[in-house]
Amino acid sequence: MIGPQPRDPGKRPVPVKDCVTCIHLARLRERASTAGDGSAVTDANVRLRRHQGEEHR
């Protein structure tokens, strides 16, 4: 189920402060969320999680 405001903490990685990539991806996610583009939100979350897995272990 996809609501207009997905609030699953497990699926919303928190951007690391002062990391340009995190902030960039979080901004994309926010914009997609505002636009109601659920698939873009998911995409941003996947990229954010992958980036954090590689850069912020």
Contact residues: Zn ion, CB under 5 A: 16, 19, 21-22, 55
For Zn ion, the closer CB: 5 or 18: 18
Least gap, CB of 48 to Zn ion (angstroms): 8
For Zn ion, the closer CB: 32 or 48: 48
For Zn ion, the closer CB: 28 or 38: 28
What sign results for the dihedral spanned by CA atoms 42, 46, 47, 52? positive
